Structure 1
């Protein structure tokens, strides 16, 4: 006959095993996501920009120009999508390839790669205006036995705040051919574009998205959660706002204090960043923008700079009188990149 203490001990062990099994069954599978498996929670994947990660199985970029990067082994890589979306991808630093209307598991390597280590970057098309693709990252599929590996990101990060011009509207590759992306790549920095087509500085009753308010948000939705600024720190912030405000009823008497408030918000979130306030290319609110910068300088913030843009672009550099062409964005990058680089 079994000893009573052994019976009790066995019963306790069995109960503990059952309890643990029950807890495990109720925990989300993402809690066990292994580094290297290519899932959204894989620590080897770097997400640059503002990504909504509230759903561990589906990460969603919140603004233009967000992208993900990682290394991977093996000969193939596939991207898991939910519904139809257009996106750009680059393997091993090559030219960005564009795929449209992609769903399900998308093979990014129809021609197999040489066996070994490779890198991948993916950026989804901006979901805005008439385009309503399903920008969502659900993970990578690799060869059997292959895995991701971490790629050290650049040390510096530059954030660009603006409207459709900063988005890259009317350029050949949208955010990828906008001046912010070009400058980030040129300076070897990570780069984000917190920008929305039609955006204003000031939120208005007629629905203009005001970056004074939405700078603090994960995306441009009215129900967006506040962004967690501990997830990254910008070393430089470039603001290009004011092109759209006049059409939405914001005038010179109100523009300057709102711009000053945005500068104060940026400084509060990024205490060490260099902040560049651009004169709009259409020259609207230039005096008010410069005065807001001077107010910050007078208050003791020497790392806020006004950037005049006179002479940067001519009529031939625009597609429609407002939005620069690809060549126009390159000219802006030629002018602005040295200004940022000198301060960083």
Structure 2
């Protein structure tokens, strides 16, 4: 979903230039670490350097052949046996892009990174108990928090006496196909706070990819300056951002599904932009696009269960309360009915999950709204497909530790 293209670009520039987080119009106190250091050469004393194509590195989400990240909340994960981790980011890294990173299940730390070398992990890393020996190897994870900015990994540096360790993938994979709602537009940490990320990370034991971008339509049409819709773009490695057009023009890299784990579940939340009169699309165009898209997804992932998510479209005052709006209600359910006898298409009715105060003034869910959506979908998947929650302690959404110890009020 996208209200105005200008707002979309404004959100990008805020992340790029100031990284200020506005919470209900007030500046939220943040703790972004300064991590940039002098370049580390491949033969630098005290460091061991690995190239971006090292087999021990696991890239999460979509990354191209130049190791540039795309779409929402892409990540990097690996194990290491030492006490220091630095990453050199390449020239195609968005200046000042905010990344989250952590060791194991410790709280996420944040840093604005640009092209160059950033020393991310050291023995003084927050919350590391340095009075005890580290249990090696340690797991390192990094996520790009934005949906329109990204990084390019040029090298990974470890302490000279340590080495990289491959972390095996989880046995299950889920993919999200969506627009600004799934990618967390206007949420506190954007994609990192969106319901797509919260569902994937919330399981704790699945791999996930969020192929979502603000303003994009399901129908292959120009919507809010996105030149193509998901019926085309989902098959490409890169998204529809301006930086993608700068690097690839009109010839993006095709995404090679055969080189990546096949999705067991695909959740689709698309159509809010198709439903906006600004984009001048009809319900028949949307319905027929959906009908043609489902078999293509099934062809790529023949064993996947595909969940069609109903749309919500804000809330309107009705009498002394509020009423939830919808979009393409009959069309989406009609697509489900068209395929339901084949057994791999399912329908998740999102009606009633959100209330009017779970929606922000930018027509997108609040952080709490995203958490509510994720919680309902997690339980839906658990009950319908038998996926058990594998949470074992790691933080999922940052800065949501709120409580009240004051009884006398």
* TM-score bin, normalised by smaller chain: 0.7 to 0.9
The normalised TM-score by structure 2 is: 0.69
Separation in structure 2 between the aligned mates of residue 51 and residue 214 of structure 1, nearest angstrom:
14
Larger radius of gyration: 1
2:266 corresponding residue in structure 1: 237
From 76, 80, 90, the counterpart of 1:82 = 90
Partner Cα distance (1:204, 1:75) in 2: 49
Whole-angstrom distance in 2 between the partners of 1:47 and 1:125: 15
Give how far 1:126 is off: 2.7
Offset from partner CA, 1:118-158 (integer Å, 9 cap, x none): 11111123352xxxx55111121110121110112211111
Tell me how far apart the structure 2 counterparts of residues 155 and 123 of structure 1 sit (CA, whole Å).
Answer: 20
Which residue is equivalent to 2:158?
142
For the 8 Å contact 2:146–2:192, the answer to whether it is kept is no
Map of 2:336 onto structure 1: 293
| Higher strand residue share | 2
Choose which of 217, 220, 226 in structure 2 pairs with 1:203.
220
Q: How does 1:53-132 map to 2 (within 5 A)?
A: 53=65, 55=66, 59-83=67-91, 84=95, 85-110=97-122, 111=124, 114-115=133-134, 116-126=136-146, 128=148
With 263-272 and 40-49 compared, the bigger mean Cα shift is at 40-49
- Using the alignment, how far apart are the partners of 1:86 and 1:266 within structure 2? 32
Partner Cα distance (1:80, 1:123) in 2: 15
Query: Deviations 1:151-177 (Å, cap 9, x if unpaired)?
Result: 122111110010011111111111221
Inter-partner Cα distance in structure 1 for 2:147 and 2:349: 31
Matches within 5 A, 1:1-344: 38-53=50-65, 55=66, 59-83=67-91, 84=95, 85-110=97-122, 111=124, 114-115=133-134, 116-126=136-146, 128=148, 133=149, 135-187=151-203, 188-205=205-222, 207-208=225-226, 209-221=228-240, 222-230=250-258, 231-247=260-276, 248-282=279-313, 283-298=326-341, 301-320=342-361, 322-341=363-382, 342-343=384-385, 344=387
Higher helix proportion (structure 1 or 2): 1
RMSD between aligned alpha carbons? 1.9
Contact 1:275 1:305 in 2 (8 A): yes
Q: Distance in 1 between matches of 2:49 and 2:115?
A: 21
Question: Structure 1-normalised TM-score?
Answer: 0.82
Name the residue aligned to 1:21.
Answer: none
**Which structure 2 segments of 5+ residues have no match?**
1-47, 241-249, 314-325, 388-409
Query: What secondary structure is seen at the aligned counterpart in 1 of 2:55?
Result: coil
Task: Spell out, residue by residue over 1:316-336, the C-alpha distance to the aligned partner (whole angstroms, 9 max, x if none).
Answer: 101125211110001001111
Query: Which structure 1 residue ranges, 4+ long, deviate > 4 Å from structure 2?
Result: 112-115
Deviations 1:67-122 (A, max 9, x none): 11100011111111135332111112212211114441111125166553211111
